[in-house]
Amino acid sequence: MSTRVLLFTGKGGVGKTSVAAATALRCADAGLRTLVLSTDPAHSLADAFDVPLDTEERCIEGSLYGQQLDATERLEEVWSDVQHYLVEILQWAGVQGIEAEELSVIPGLDELFSLSDLKRYADSGAWDVVVVDCGPTAETIRLLSLPDVLSWYMDRVFPVGRTLTKAMRPLLSRVTSIPIAGDEVFDATRRFYDGLDGVKALLADGQRTSIRLVVNPERLVIAEARRTATYLGLFGYRVDAVVANRLLPDEVTDPWFKAWKEAHAEHLATIEESFAPLPVLRAELAAEELVGVDRLRQFGEILYEHTPDPSAVLHDGQPLRLERRGGAHVLALHLPFADRDELELGRRDDELLVRVGPHRRALLLPDSLKRRAVAGATMVDDWLEITFEEEPA
């Protein structure tokens, strides 16, 4: 059986770490060899489980293991040649001592090392499930776009940069004292990139990897989650569920909470409408702080009350895709069983409004389409294909 990879993300403060931890614990309780790790620089997994975690897999309970990444330590292990070169550059610029070492840790390395680790764990055969507590949504989108960005850089820029540096090194060494990158620096970069080979294929495989969005019943949180779902779909990644977290319990009957409960009900309806046909897992606001294995286990039982296997693919389907045909952009929405006569299409600012009979979906457009006018739309099999003009309006 292939290793299942579950990634949890959401706006900061929505409780994604608790959801990821509870999911991992429930998978382990079902007898699955489970590893939970964090790509969030503000690691909170150790606090959630109330156990110490470090850069090596550590047993939390039973078949559940956890890990938290230390970018500085991994930099020394994997990229020491590059780090030494960066330290030389900084010292040449006048930065000395510990400051140079700290500044040599390039922003974003946490994400790069996490991708490398994730691929290694998924291919090792040692784990049935790998649960990832991702950073906030913007960080997650950057994380998941890194394989594409690095591929473009390594295929187009890296060979040219290496050739130019090698050719210019003798001349530059005569006219400047700035350290010039040697072959060992380029070799280290190539080795690290080769370690990421296959990450994109793993993350885009809907049968192996699923992303779950964690939201609170708040307008801003829902808007960001919708935007995230759109971008993930455009990158070819599959979201198989949405977690509506911190809902006010029915037991709360104090009149002071009446307006709040009505707002929650309204926002919950928006969540179910906006993300349909994705399943929405619900979790009420906990009476106590979700810290420790026992409380996380209780939370997981509530969260997956109607889902026997939390590691399963909860929704199988690609909701949208973006293609370039000639000079035009085509956005395709999967609308199975839709009647052509019941379809209506509209536009409001940066939202695309799609109505099928009594149901309407407001899709937040990516930046590349916001300034382009809709040129036409047609149904092809079960897909609504919307064509945008070549030139921005």
Domain layout of the chain by residue ranges:
1-316, 320-388
Residue bearing tokens 């509506």: 244
The pTM of this model reads: 0.72
Q: What is the mean pLDDT of residues 80-97?
A: 57
Mean pLDDT lowest among 21-25, 26-30, 297-301, 336-340: 336-340
Fill in the DSSP letter of residue 309: -
Residue 360 scores a pLDDT above 50: yes
- H helices of the chain, where? 16-29, 45-49, 71-78, 80-92, 97-103, 109-124, 137-152, 158-175, 183-195, 199-204, 219-235, 258-275, 293-303, 367-370
The per-residue pLDDT for 157 is 44
Q: What is the mean pLDDT of residues 171-186?
A: 52
Q: What is the mean pLDDT of residues 310-318?
A: 88
The per-residue pLDDT for 296 is 94
The per-residue pLDDT for 206 is 86
- The domain made up of 320-388 has a fold known as Immunoglobulin-like (2.60.40)
Contact 127, 6 (CB under 8 A): no
Mean pLDDT lowest among 123-127, 145-149, 224-228, 369-373: 145-149
Q: What is the mean pLDDT of residues 192-219?
A: 83
Residue 131 scores a pLDDT above 80: yes
Widest pairwise Cα distance in the chain: 79
Residue 85 scores a pLDDT above 80: no
The per-residue pLDDT for 172 is 43
Cα 106 to chain centroid distance, Å, stands at 20
The per-residue pLDDT for 254 is 79
Main-chain dihedrals φ then ψ at residue 11, nearest 5 degrees? -60, 145
The per-residue pLDDT for 168 is 47
Q: In angstroms, rounded to a whole number, what is the distance separating the alpha carbons of residues 379 and 356?
A: 12
Mean pLDDT lowest among 5-14, 54-63, 368-377: 368-377
Higher pLDDT, 118 or 268: 268
Nearest CA to 106 out of 88, 133, 79, 132 is that of 79
Rg of the Cα trace of the chain? 24
The per-residue pLDDT for 302 is 92
User: What b/e readout covers 119-128, taking b as 16+ CB neighbours within 10 angstroms?
Assistant: bebbeeeebb
Main-chain dihedrals φ then ψ at residue 228, nearest 5 degrees? -65, -45
Query: Which architecture characterizes domain 1-316 according to CATH?
Result: 3-Layer(aba) Sandwich (3.40)
Contact 143, 39 (CB under 8 A): yes
Q: In angstroms, rounded to a whole number, what is the distance separating the alpha carbons of residues 214 and 244?
A: 6
Which range in 27-31, 100-104, 179-183, 322-326 is most confidently predicted, on average pLDDT?
Answer: 27-31
